[in-house]
Homo-oligomer: A and B are copies of this chain.
């Protein structure tokens, strides 16, 4: 199989894992706009492309698909996911599987207030959310919401701009500065924790067939990511139920809260998550699942088929290249 990994950036380890798992005869092509994207150098071939908002961008990518006989395409950055979703038919016309959600689902993932409304409508537990200062104040006055609260940009990526707010004045100032904020109840308290799951949605059966869940290890040392795998059939059931309301396709990474005995869906990043490496290191291999799908076969569900207590510790590594060895 031939794979195209768009906007490869710094995801070197993912590309390493990908190539280590591909069946023999496969090729992995990576793109980026910068020759200083280290992940390029872990692919079988690296291609520099324009910015994703360049009018020529999509044609460039479709041409690569033709020339390299690509079987599946995905991206490692959020802003490109909608682009793949919206151009799905053009890729499919070339026989390319788009490992990205369908348009309506992609739209929800990148509008956190719409996502909240949709989840609530579907009866999927999610933190209560307010879309304006007026609505949040009303909830506070009615005793439905109390400080501290949590705010984040409606269309943010990652945790940029997400923060706790401790009083009404600060909340007002925050919304004055950025009216696109959303305000959420804080999901903390005795026994509460946040967690995330790497999930693979089969592109043939359209069911989640693999789930790997992990939580942070609380340590005062370093800010770096340290996570430990765990399993809970109730979480898996919650995920299966929640995902019925969406049209994902391939790998996703979803964030959850656990509070007062219940799981809550927080956000979905509809792509290979930054910590997929943990799933892979624990034996949950999405590449094999993708491969089987590309051969036209549905995967047998393997949800929870991994060990508990597997620890991942992140650190900085480097790629060294002479200037003349950089992609052109």
CB-CB under 8 A from A122, the residues of chain B are none
Q: Which one of A179-187, A217-225, A288-296 contacts B?
A: A217-225
Q: Can you sample 13 A-B contacts with CB below 8 Å?
A: A10-B222, A10-B316, A12-B315, A13-B317, A32-B221, A36-B221, A36-B313, A37-B313, A38-B315, A39-B315, A309-B323, A312-B320, A315-B317
Question: Which residues from chain A sit less than 8 Å from chain B, CB to CB?
Answer: 9-13, 32-34, 36-39, 217, 219, 221-222, 224-226, 228, 274, 277-278, 281-282, 307, 309-324, 326
CB-CB under 8 A from A226, the residues of chain B are 36
In the complex the two chains form, what is the Cα distance from A228 to B323 in whole Å? 8
Whether the pair A307, B322 counts as a contact (CB closer than 8 A) is yes
Closest to A35 in B: B311
Assuming A10-B222, A36-B219, is B316 touching A311 (CB within 8 A)?
no
In the complex the two chains form, what is the Cα distance from A321 to B307 in whole Å? 11
In the complex the two chains form, what is the Cα distance from A225 to B226 in whole Å? 21
Assuming A34-B219, A219-B36, is B312 touching A282 (CB within 8 A)?
no
CB-CB under 8 A from A322, the residues of chain B are 307, 309-311
Whether the pair A315, B10 counts as a contact (CB closer than 8 A) is yes
Assuming A318-B13, A320-B278, is B38 touching A313 (CB within 8 A)?
yes
CB-CB under 8 A from A38, the residues of chain B are 313-315
In the complex the two chains form, what is the Cα distance from A302 to B313 in whole Å? 36
Whether the pair B326, A311 counts as a contact (CB closer than 8 A) is yes
Known contacts A9-B221, A10-B313; 4 further A-B pairs (Cβ under 8 A): A12-B317, A34-B221, A36-B226, A310-B320
Tell me which of A12, A314, A317 has the highest count of chain B C-beta atoms within 10 A of its own C-beta: A317
CB-CB under 8 A from A9, the residues of chain B are 221-222
Closest to A219 in B: B36
Assuming A10-B222, A37-B221, is B315 touching A319 (CB within 8 A)?
yes
CB-CB under 8 A from A222, the residues of chain B are 9-10, 37
CB-CB under 8 A from A221, the residues of chain B are 9, 32-34, 36-37
In the complex the two chains form, what is the Cα distance from A225 to B319 in whole Å? 11
- Min CB–CB distance A221 → chain B (angstroms): 5
Assuming A10-B224, A37-B221, is B323 touching A313 (CB within 8 A)?
no
